Amino acid sequence: MSSNGNEKHVKVLILGSGPTGYSAALYAARAELQPVVLTGLQLGGQAALTYTIENYPGFPDGVGGAQLGELFQKQAEHFGAVTEFASANSVNLSQRPFKVEADSGDYLADVLIVGTGASPNHLEVPGEVELTGRGVSYCATCDGWFFKDKKVVIVGGGDSALEEGLFITRYASSVTIIHRREEFRASTILQKRAREHPKVDFILNTVVTEVVGADKMEALKLKNVITGEETTYEADGLFIFIGHTPNTRMFQGQLEMSDLGYIKINDKMETNVPGVFAAGEAADPHFRQVVTSAGMGAAAAIQATRFLEAEESSVIVE
């Protein structure tokens, strides 16, 4: 990293510190490109908020999400990656080096790897925002403990809803999973575990229309989507796991994206801007696993290395 006035010039700047970012950093560091990782708000990304990850290869007994994140970071830093605890606020990709404005200052990057991941979706019903942190939560690992012997509701029918719901059974007296359909997206193994758990029950074909409470959540208003029947359901906590939105707003108008905001990449992790690569959940609407994000991050760094090498050799030839 060199400093040019107020701007730090880096060969490889990586946005995001989840499995994508640190796998990219590991590969770029081992290629001696001295990558700099801007962590974003959540060090370790979403994976770090997961209590146990059971499907990352190499850990037959599972591994804590935060622990895995620390291992990723340590391994990348061992080879020379630098971590900066900061978020990027804006980018200018119209010319190289690319300019990135961050909390920690401005950067000029020869190559940019976007691993900004995704954030949890909100229900967008009355009371949700007001009661977030007062009963409403999007993170079981962070907040599950507060619901010891309490009645908890989970919304969603995917892997996150069932996995996190099962996790909260450690604390809660009961966990009710509310899903808007009859069928679940979640894997068969999680569905089986949830169905067999004595503390878990289900309310299907139902949506939450309002979170009710003054200082803290007291109840939910529910609507059966088939019968239209409206009911009130008393509960102490609501955990919402209804999917994610990619953190890509900063790149709008500069990188090509799908309608849902996923950055478009080819099979080499290349975006429409030469020198900008994207990987992990910012670019992947299909798999969204720790192992696939890590793989994409590694692929992005390998391709970024080839890109810089090709550029260097063409400069020498000229």
| Residues at the interface with ligand NAP (CB under 6 A) | 55, 123, 155-161, 163, 180-181, 185, 207, 241-244, 288-289
Alpha carbon distance 221, 207 (integer Å) = 9
Quick check: is 259 catalytic? no
Looking at beta carbons only, is 110 or 159 nearer to ligand NAP? 159
Quick check: is 284 catalytic? no
Which pair of structure tokens corresponds to residue 33?
């490109």
C-beta nearest to ligand NAP: residue? 158
Smallest separation (angstroms) from ligand NAP to the CB of 5:
42
Smallest separation (angstroms) from ligand NAP to the CB of 42:
15
Is 213 in contact with 127 (CB distance < 8 Å)?
yes
The pairing of strands 151-155 and 174-178 is parallel
Which pair of structure tokens corresponds to residue 162?
């069932």
Looking at beta carbons only, is 101 or 128 nearer to ligand NAP? 128
Give the active site residue among 61, 106, 110, 143.
143
Beta bridge partners of 151: 174
Looking at beta carbons only, is 4 or 55 nearer to ligand NAP? 55
Looking at beta carbons only, is 104 or 205 nearer to ligand NAP? 205
3-class SS letters over 98-142: EEEEECCEEEEEEEEEECCCEEECCCCCCCCCCCECCCEECCHHH
In order of 12, 21, 100, 108, 215, the CA distances from 308 in angstroms are: 10, 18, 19, 15, 55
Looking at beta carbons only, is 134 or 180 nearer to ligand NAP? 180
Is 248 in contact with 116 (CB distance < 8 Å)?
yes
CA angle 87, 91, 92 (to 5 degrees): 165
CA angle 11, 75, 29 (to 5 degrees): 20
| H helix or E strand, kind and range, residue 36 | strand 36-38
Give the active site residue among 103, 106, 142, 236.
142
Alpha carbon distance 234, 254 (integer Å) = 47
Quick check: is 143 catalytic? yes
Which of 129, 16, 134, 130 lies closest to 81, judged by CA? Answer: 16
Looking at beta carbons only, is 107 or 138 nearer to ligand NAP? 138
Smallest separation (angstroms) from ligand NAP to the CB of 249:
19
Smallest separation (angstroms) from ligand NAP to the CB of 12:
27
**Residues designated catalytic:** 139, 142-143
